Amino acid sequence: MRKLFIALFFSLLASWSQAQQLERIEPMFWWAGMNNPKLKLLVHGIDISTMDVRLDYPGVKLVKVNKVENPNYLFIDLEIATDVKAGKFPIVFANKQKKKLQYIYELKNRETGPSRIQGVSNKDLIYLLMPDRFANGDVKNDVVKGMRETKLNRDSMYYRHGGDILGLINKLDYLKDLGVTAIWMTPEIENDMPLVSYHGYAATDHYKIDPRYGTLALYKTYVDKAHEKGLKIVKDIVHNHMGTGHWLYTDMPMKDWVNQWPAYTQTSYRDEPVMDPHTSEADKKKMLDGWFVPSMPDFNQRNPYVQNYLTQNHIWWVEYAGIDGLRLDTYPYNDPDYMKDWAQKIKAEFPTLSIFGETLVHTAAAQAFFTGGNTVNRGFDTELPGITDAVIKNAIYEALNGKSGWTDGVFRLYSTVAQDFLYQDADRNVVFLDNHDMSRFYSMVNEDLNKFKSGMALLLTMRGIPQLYYGTEILMKNYSNPDGLVRSDFPGGWVGDQSDKFTAAGRTAQENDAFNFVKTLANYRKNNTALQTGKLMQFVPENGLYTYFRYQAGGSTSANGAKTVMIIVNVDDAAKSLETARFAERMANASSATNVITGEKLNTLKTIAVPAKTTLVLELN
């Protein structure tokens, strides 16, 4: 009997000990001197809500301890004085049995420096890559024990391939040489999912770098090294959803942490109900609250705890790493009121940070609906500076592949640019030709090198912020069905690859031709304010030729030291001659021009010969 009593006692003691655990506090540290004095700590641990909370640190006030449905959570409201000193202090959790748990919290000093949080603008060229598919710098982290996906299989488009942050660090010089000025990689935070975890959009820990990519410290090193080389960093964040493997899903703080339905309901993927003045509320709810896919639970962004958790997390990443911009995934699927509040709080903390949202919609009006400054139909300002300009992308494809008609072919591009009046500032839009979710550009122009060059010329001379998808510069190809094919490895990013296309020696003659074209124009753009911040003047296409100019206000050619660039697009299969008399308002002072790509000088500008399927980029002299 005595043995049974002792065994029972130790069993109960072990059970009680296990029941009182502190598993995590998020954010795990914060900073003194932030704009917003309020901080809400998420505390997670078994039955943690049964414990009282105490802290004592000058300048930090414990305002409220919030208990929620799940006893494994506490949300602690703190108020931090503006003059608080950086330092460490204990947060003590105690129960009636006098058991104590302790977490040493730290307020850090904010870092300063000219390279931190610079912002990304139309002066930049963004390079988008998927870290798993770009370069493998550390083979030791290819497979991490204990994670749900343990396969490494480069022969499959759906398993991990081993690319990582160190691999990207090793290729920073390649990107700088190409003319890139900013890097955006798909989410690098932990995606501990059993299948297709490499893409990064099903987060399982918002405060942790996926260990197959590296560590928090390595991520910050990556940002710092990029800044040292004059390269900016864009972080990809997801407001709309997380992965089913997320600890916040497997043990939710409350039932309405995610949008709940009687039966699984997927979003309609239709953006129209969000903006339609005649919309059905049921359609709107399905669009906003439906789950993206079964493996990605949809955050309930009307829940104030969810709102605060996401906003604080994004502030934490910007302050921790000093990144320069944020790309917002699946922007139209988010709760509009929350996104406005989010943008206001982010801007208040980081006035120089750049933000653009993914809006894969079909009209310029739809894109403009989501951008800041368009308050007439919404009743409020979204505060979103820019979007991913899919409408310009579609118009460029139509110009290159379509047949000219009153509104078709190159006229589609002209008329799309003409609708820039819809935006508060179209220069804040990100212009692109492909990305990780769609067919690659080279395939979409039927592997026609002339069309490829024309598209690259349009991308790098159009208004807005150009974005290049990794491998486009070396003619990587494939279609989005299935998706994995457009996410192939960059050849040469792995030891033992048959060819290294990061080097000229590893590329074919045609690949070098394409690479050098992009490099020449990208570096020219990097040193030419007309193509960065200059105005755009376009002329109605005639005879299959579309002409526009990029120039600085106040001068036609070089009267004020600024350059004027003339872009002539010939989409036809035949060479043509362009009579330039109708462009006098932009060419009046020009006596000659230089072909930016070839260096050839045009000594007369009255008539310009334009080869078939060619976009000329001419600097006027």
| Residues designated as active site | 329, 358
Amino acid at residue number 281? E
Which stretch of DSSP H or E encloses residue 44?
strand 38-44
Place of tokens 């002792």: 6
- Give phi and psi for 7, each to the nearest 5: -60, -40
- What b/e readout covers 442-459, taking b as 16+ CB neighbours within 10 angstroms? bbbbeeeebbbbbbbbbb
**Tokens 């001197």 -> residue:** 33
Other Cβ atoms less than 10 A from the Cβ of 600: the count is: 10
Q: Exposure pattern of 533-542 as b/e (b: 16+ CB <10 Å)?
A: bbebebeebe
Query: Using CA atoms, how far apart are residues 133 and 484, in angstroms rounded to an integer?
Result: 11
C-alpha count within 13 angstroms, C-beta hemisphere, residue 179: 21
621's CB contacts (< 8 A; 6+ apart) are 557, 558, 590, 591, 592, 593, 594
Nearest-angstrom CA–CA distance, 340 and 334: 10
Listed residue (383, 343, 129, 307) closest to 234, CA to CA: 129
Task: Measure the CA–CA gap between 570 and 598, rounded to whole angstroms.
Answer: 17
- Neighbouring residues of 246: CB distance < 8 A, sequence distance ≥ 6: 203, 204, 205, 297
DSSP 280: -
Phi and psi at 272, nearest 5°, equal -55, -40
Nearest alpha-carbon partner for 359 in 271, 459, 451: 271
Sign of the alpha-carbon torsion through 576, 579, 584, 589: positive
How far apart CA 408 and CA 415 sit, in angstroms, is 9
CA distance 617 to 569: 9
DSSP 484: G
Give, for 73, the enclosing helix (H) or strand (E). strand 73-80
Task: Work out the burial of residue 156: count CB atoms within 10 Å of its CB; fewer than 13 is exposed, 13-18 middle, 19 or more buried.
Answer: exposed
